[in-house]
A = this chain, B = another copy of it.
Amino acid sequence: MARRILVIGASASGIEAAAAARKKDRTAEIILITQEKTAGYSRCGLPFVIGGHIPTFRDLVVYPQAFFQMLKLDLRTQTKATVINPKDKTLTIQTKENSTQTLPYDVLVIATGAEPFMPPIKGKEKPGIHSLRNIEDGEKIDAAIKAGAKSALIMGAGLIGLELSAGLVERGLKVTVVEMLPQILPQFLDADMAKLVQQHLEEKGIKILLNNVVEEFLGETKISAVKVSGEVIEADLIISAFGVRASTKLAVEAGIALGETQAIKTNGRMETEIKDVYAVGDCAEAPSLITHRPTCAQLGTIAVREGKVAGINAGGDYSLFGGVLASAVTQLFDIQAANTGLTQTVAQRNRIEVITGTVSSKTRASYFPGAKPIKIKLIVEKESQRIIGAQIVGGEEVTQRINCLSFAIQQGMTIQELAKADTAYAPPLCETWEPMVLAAEMILMKLR
């Protein structure tokens, strides 16, 4: 009899898992269950539809119906997984038609993702707060703009909050961002690098309030203003971007263990502490390649990699997930900001002694018109002199530089090796001395 593989969630990691399982097991019944109306779209693209870069939310669908048909994946949208019973190996679901079914499984993959986090702020139960996690959220924000919204207050200066802020400015709104911490992008960049991004956002007209606490949501029936560190800020659109938390309710109720990050604990094969139950994507933990401690990176790239590993294992073959560097990049107006490995802040929190080096350079030969500024920060572990983190803020060609440094970290490259690295050069495309190499030189000077 054909094996049955159930996947809860039909976004990046869930679909990747299902597709990988199919490649390994041609006969298995593979069912994907999602509460959403639309499966297989890019969440990361949502802010860019709002910003007007991408015509419609429909365009974000990366996996069309034909994909699921071709791979014989039984996709069930608007379907809710309600109970996992690992002892009986069954999953109870509530169908689109509101009937309850209990499906036996041979392998279960939990790819329930994450949900927007809302701190316990007074008035939060009242309607009127937007967030941006799915297409419906995006459509609501888009509708509000089309209905005449002129101003927005974004609570949280993380990646989603800032990408959305940029999108709203591009649509003509006046945007204020509130952040409790003393810097923007606190999970992503060190304060010195975040400052560059902040300056750019401010130049583009975004008002950024750091060290400010959201204290209360104001409004009679609907929230129309927010009390921020004692001051009342009114806005047509009030958007929660406090971050997301792993969606673990189903797993917890089934007795599946969480790890120290409060996401689902996994082993190297992305299996939970219960046999034949895997967890992948934003709801799952995986170890950092540097600290070897559990992390929950909640990035699309990590989600697909974990999904693929779980899918191969679910399909009866063998694959190990190597670990996370959490390389990531964002485009905000005219600049790109990226990170890989540990920030200086995170390294120090992990009691890792570091030496850092920062260099400002250009993205093309200095004499070539259109050369844009670029700033690179390297974080090197003191004893091994190996690179353990990097951050880049620049006008172009940032993504693949962070990938260079991700490769460097993954391969244990020392700062001496980076200083000697062989790099490509052409006047329209980069400088003779690649800025990454110059940043390595800065650190070598400190070591001498």
Contact = CB atoms under 8 A, between A and B. Distances in A.
A330 interface: yes
Interface stretch (A119-127, A217-225, A429-437): A429-437
A410 interface: yes
A62 B42 CA distance: 45
A422 B324 contact: yes
Contacts of A42: 365, 367, 427, 432
A151 interface: no
B397 A367 contact: no
A12 interface: yes
A299 B432 CA distance: 10
25 contacts: A42-B365, A42-B367, A42-B432, A44-B365, A44-B427, A54-B427, A301-B432, A301-B434, A305-B422, A322-B420, A325-B422, A326-B422, A327-B422, A329-B430, A340-B422, A397-B397, A399-B400, A399-B430, A400-B400, A400-B404, A403-B424, A403-B434, A407-B407, A410-B413, A411-B413
Interface of A: 12, 42, 44-45, 48, 53-54, 59-62, 289, 299-302, 304-305, 322, 324-331, 336, 338-340, 365-369, 397-404, 406-408, 410-413, 417, 420-430, 432-434, 436
Given A44-B365, A399-B426, A406-B422, 14 more contacts: A53-B368, A53-B369, A54-B427, A60-B367, A61-B367, A302-B422, A327-B423, A329-B429, A336-B426, A403-B434, A407-B421, A410-B421, A411-B411, A411-B413
